[in-house]
Amino acid sequence: MTRPETRKVAVAALQASFGLDLDANISRTAELIREAAGRGAQVILPPELFQGPYFCVAQEERWFKQAHPWREHPCVKALAPLAAELGVVLPISIFEREGPHYFNSLVMADADGSLMGVYRKSHIPDGPGYMEKYYFRPGDTGFKVWDTRFGRLGVGICWDQWYPEAARAMTLMGAEVLLYPTAIGSEPHDPSLDTAAPWRRAMQGHAVSNVIPVVGANRTGFEPWENYPGGGQLFYGSSFIADHRGDLVQAFGREDEGSLVAEFDLDFLATHRAAWGFFRDRRPDLYGALTQGRPA
């Protein structure tokens, strides 16, 4: 009797630096997608807002012109056909405009190039160097899990990755891999503050607690602030792929550019997740405080 093949998926994280030229950024991302696909990757994750520099370092209205409806966004129009050409799944991070509303969003392109829908970032940060509340409304899509050709994928965007509730919700919805496109680096108000290690550890914790692989894709390089001489943001890279134990199976340093690729056995993970009992032993009846804004 022939044993049926197990379900496996090869995931990739891209890490690169980006400038002001939209077309150049798309071309660089496409180049890395081709590289990752050539190494066998089936699900390929670019960093957050790779369309240009991370503009949320200050409040400048000129950047609103860079937003587009999600189906018409230049990154989507360029990369969805590439997904079809290569037969890969691409979660595409964009600055989205819907009427008078603006979102930090992600469009999921399946391996045939079809657009499966949009996720809008749920948690919007606001602080020195990360002034996203000026640009983005809180997402109104809820958490999303997409049943792609290569498995069920849950995706959060940057600040979402710090919230265990988001990771747990997506896993409860059937996610088999969690993906987090990111733009994070230096903290302008405190040059001594380095969040690279806790950034990784937070997501490694999601992997352990949900028995699920986690992929984090960050940008790298120094981006000067055009209208603020001497200022800028140094993005610390450190993109990674963690397995269901939270172990780093692939990882970049702070300045590397390229793609990381790792393969996972989804059938093994499903059985292993059941064996751990985290979802069997949950007590939602005791978790009311999690749904209250200010629990007593």
- Known catalytic residue at 65: no
- Known catalytic residue at 48: yes
- Residue 240: name the closest of 12, 50, 9, 32 by CA: 12
Residue 263, classed as helix, strand or coil, is strand
Residue indicated by tokens 């022939």: 2
Residue 260, classed as helix, strand or coil, is strand
- Known catalytic residue at 158: yes
Distance CA 184, CA 85 (A): 31
- The full length of the chain comes to 296
Distance CA 39, CA 123 (A): 33
The active-site residue, picked from 56, 132, 144, 158, is 158
The active-site residue, picked from 121, 132, 144, 176, is 121
- Are the CB atoms for 175 and 199 separated by under 8 Å? no
In the numeric block, which tokens belong to residue 178? Answer: 């969690």
The active-site residue, picked from 48, 96, 176, 223, is 48
Helix (H) or strand (E) holding 26: helix 22-38
Give the angle subtended at the CA of 151 by the CAs of 145 and 152, to the nearest 5°. 15
> How far is residue 165 from each of residues 8, 89, 123, 143, 156, measured CA to CA in Å?
26, 25, 11, 10, 11
- Are the CB atoms for 156 and 167 separated by under 8 Å? yes
Kindly list the catalytic residues: 48, 121, 158
